[in-house]
Structure 1
């Protein structure tokens, strides 16, 4: 194995449409630092939680048509985040690939499992009893995870095992996703830079 230090895996996306203008930068080998501004306070809080607990540095600047509603800003920022992660992963050589986490938060417990498979598939088993958290529409939370799954090529399963507080439910799912991603994107030195698939590639 080479003694040459491995370079940090970084990815960037700039995405402009008639509905949103987005710039995102990630560093998979970071320390969980973040600078997030989407115009939706609770979404900012959740992306910050994702960064902090995944140790993926995230810079995210979003200007969206919030005068219409929050859908485009939520969806497009999730798509761009997934694309930036995919860009940083490159050919996915040497990664753990799989990750899972149980995430307790007071009375709430959730489970997230994922595979950086290159074959997006999404399962969601969670419900909210409030229409909003802060000013964020709770129906968009599932859509955020689905959009990240599709754009990053993740097989992603998110499940609420139990819980009653809507804030705790949402934060538990985001923290679980973060911890699962941390495990999946980390380089495994035993793999020696090999792509973790008997096909020799992930996806397709």
Structure 2
């Protein structure tokens, strides 16, 4: 289990491959997106987030959940031996379409291409989505690329989380962790 406590938030994340999943955050859309990401990644466990002091529009909760998720995923991957390493997925969702590609080789990088309006859905400011991805990628020591398009911003972000989850599932599947260097990272 990974825990993170600051003056603003308290986050606890426990991840495992498969099994039941329980996610609770003070931001309904964040809860929905984290559940979606983990379910499509084939991960079980729990994510519990509490906001201890309201300072802004959820920035600290979203960021700290991404930090904790990334660190818990990094711990779950361990030495990253015996995994496929690479994963990618394309997800259509009504009017929206998302692509995600990941490399779990231990080198953090991120890129998100998605035009999102400056609005909030269920307490989640959509301008935080690229920041969530960047933070998750950095803490998980993963390369993450996401492209999403569509008319409905909810569908666009949800399709991106589904695609990222499926890409993670593929990358975590048993495999050889290919590297011409002989080591990852």
Q: Deviations over 1:11-63 (max 9, x none)?
A: x2111111211110000x214x3111111000000011112211111301111
Match of 1:26 among 5, 10, 15: 15
Cα deviation for residue 125 of structure 1 reads 0.5
Matched, 1:198 2:180: yes
**1:86 is paired with a residue of what secondary structure?**
helix
1:46 and 1:83 map into 2 onto residues whose CA distance is 18
Matched, 1:79 2:72: no
Q: In the TM superposition, what are the counterparts of 1:3-152 in structure 2 within 5 Å?
A: 12-27=1-16, 29-31=17-19, 33-65=20-52, 67-69=54-56, 70-152=58-140
Moved more, 65-74 or 51-60: 65-74
Asked whether the 8 Å contact 1:65–1:72 carries over to 2, the reply is no
Asked whether the 8 Å contact 2:150–2:156 carries over to 1, the reply is yes
**1:30 is paired with a residue of what secondary structure?**
strand
**Residue-pair matches, total:** 184
**2:76 is paired with a residue of what secondary structure?**
helix
Over 3 Å off, 4+ runs = none
Asked which structure has the greater CA Rg, the reply is: 1
Match of 1:172 among 145, 159, 167: 159
Asked whether the 8 Å contact 1:66–1:73 carries over to 2, the reply is no
**2:81 is paired with a residue of what secondary structure?**
coil
- RMSD between superposed Cα atoms in Å: 1.3
1:137 and 1:113 map into 2 onto residues whose CA distance is 24
2:184 and 2:39 map into 1 onto residues whose CA distance is 27
**2:89 is paired with a residue of what secondary structure?**
strand
Asked whether the 8 Å contact 1:94–1:196 carries over to 2, the reply is no
1:17 and 1:130 map into 2 onto residues whose CA distance is 27
